[in-house]
Amino acid sequence: MSTKIRKANFYRAVSTISKPIADSTHTISKIAFYVAEVETEDGVKGQGYLLSFHYSPNAIEGAMRDCRDFILDRGYEVYETLRAKREWDMEAEYFGNTGLNTCAIAAFNVAMWDAWGHTAGQPVWKMFGANIQKIPVYGSGGWISYSDEELLEEVLDYKSRGFTAVKIKVGHPDGIERDMHRLTICREKLGDGVKIMMDANQGMDVVAALKLAEQAKEKIGLQWFEEPVPHTDFAGYELLRQKCGIALAMGEREYDCEALKNLIARNALDLWQPDLIRLGGVEEWRNSAALASAYQLPVLPHYYKDYDVPLLCTVARPYGAESFDWIDGIIDNTMRIENGYAYPREGAGWGFRFKEEALEEVK
C-alpha cells in the first residue's frame, strides 16, 4: 500500500444558497469556497476546504497554487501532515507564514487527514481517540443586513429544526437601539427555551459594547458576547469581562495562539473560538484547544462544523459548534443534527465529499 501523494489539485465552489449578507464590519457578496484535494499513488483521495467569500481570489489562488506545487515537489506521504506544515512554514516565512499562506497549507492539511482516514478506514475523530460522541450546536446568522422578517424567519427555522441556541449579529450602524430591537423580537418569538448569543464582529468600541451588554443581559438574557471589540484590544476584553457580566468569546481572527496567551494572562476570556483554517490545520487547532483547556477555557470553534464537530469529540473541554448550512447543498453527506446536538460522521476520513458537479478546477 502506498500513501505517497501523487496528485494535488484545488477547485472553486459556490454555495447553492449564496446571497449577499452583511455584519457590522463586512459586506459579503458571495458565499464561496476553495476545495483542496490530494490523491495517493493507490488512488485514495482526500479533500479539505476553506471559506473564501468573494475576497482576494487571485491572492488565494496564488497561495493555493504555490502550496499545491510545494506538496507535490516534496513527495509527502498523506500522514506527514506535521512535516508538511513545518516545511511550508519555513518556505513561506520570508513573505509571511500567516494569513493566506497559513490558510493554503491548512486546506491541504485537512485534505491529507481525510486521505489518511480513508487509507486507515476510520473517521478522523476515532483516529485521535474520542471523548464524547455528540456536540451541542447553535444556529448562526442573524445578519445585520436582514430585515426583521428575514431575521425571524431564520431563527424560527432553526428552532423548528431542533436547535436550542441561535446567534444574532449586533453592532448595527443605526446604533444600540436597533440591536436591542432585533434581540428583543427574537426573544419574544423564540421564547425562553432557546438560548441567544450576540456577535459584534469587532464592530464596537468598549463603551458601546458595555452599554449593549448591560441592556441585553437585563432584558434578553444572553449566553455570551462574541468579538465585541477588535481582536487586538486585550485591555478592552479585560475591562469588559470585569464589567459586563456576560461571557466573552473570541479567537476566529487568530493565526496563532498569541492572542489566547495574552487574554489568559489578563483573565479576559471565557470561550476560545479557534478557526481551523486560519490557525493552520488540524494539529494547530488541537494545540490551541489544549492550551485553552489547560486554563479551564472551553472550546467553541469558528464556522467549520463539518471538521469542528469531530475534532471537538476528541478534546477535553468542548463547549459547542457553530452551524451554517452553506456547504450542505454541494456535499454528498450532510451532518446529522438533532435536538440541539451534532453528531460526527461514521464514514472514513471526514465522512463527506464535495459533489463533482459543484467543483470548478483551478489550474
pLDDT in tens, 116-142: 999 999 999 999 999 999 999 999 999
**DSSP helix/strand/coil, 235:** helix
- Answer yes or no: is pLDDT of 97 > 90: no
What confidence tier does 194 reach under pLDDT thresholds 50, 70, 90?
very high
pLDDT in tens, 255-279: 999 999 999 999 999 999 999 999 9
- Cα–Cα dist 163/158, whole Å: 5
Question: CB–CB of 226/273 below 8 Å?
Answer: yes
List the Cα angle 13/18/20 in 5-degree steps: 130
What does the pLDDT read at residue 237? 97
pLDDT in tens, 38-85: 999 999 999 999 999 999 999 999 999 999 999 999 999 999 999 999
**Range 226-233 average pLDDT:** 97
Helix, strand and coil percent figures for the chain, each rounded to 5? 40, 20, 40
What confidence tier does 96 reach under pLDDT thresholds 50, 70, 90?
confident
- Answer yes or no: is pLDDT of 198 > 90: yes
What confidence tier does 34 reach under pLDDT thresholds 50, 70, 90?
very high
Question: CB–CB of 149/182 below 8 Å?
Answer: no
Report the CATH superfamily, name and number, of domain 126-343: Enolase-like C-terminal domain (3.20.20.120)
Question: CB–CB of 302/309 below 8 Å?
Answer: no
What does the pLDDT read at residue 340? 95
- Answer yes or no: is pLDDT of 280 > 90: yes
Domain positions in the chain: 5-121+355-362, 126-343
Question: CB–CB of 178/172 below 8 Å?
Answer: yes
DSSP result, 10-49: EEEEE-TT---EE-SS-EE---EEEEEEEEETT--EEEEE
**Range 178-187 average pLDDT:** 97
Type of residue found at 339: N
Q: Which residues contact 178 (CB under 8 A, 6 or more apart)?
A: 172
DSSP alpha helix (H) spans, 191-266: 206-219, 234-243, 258-265
What confidence tier does 95 reach under pLDDT thresholds 50, 70, 90?
confident
**Range 304-323 average pLDDT:** 97
Question: CB–CB of 26/54 below 8 Å?
Answer: no
Q: Pairing mode, if any, of strands 21-22 and 45-51?
A: unpaired
C-alpha 165 chain-centroid distance: 17
What does the pLDDT read at residue 235? 97
Type of residue found at 224: W
What does the pLDDT read at residue 1? 78
Q: In the CATH scheme, what architecture does the domain 5-121+355-362 have? A: 2-Layer Sandwich (3.30)
**Angle separating helix axes 258-265 and 234-243, nearest 10 degrees:** 40
**Range 172-190 average pLDDT:** 97
What confidence tier does 86 reach under pLDDT thresholds 50, 70, 90?
very high
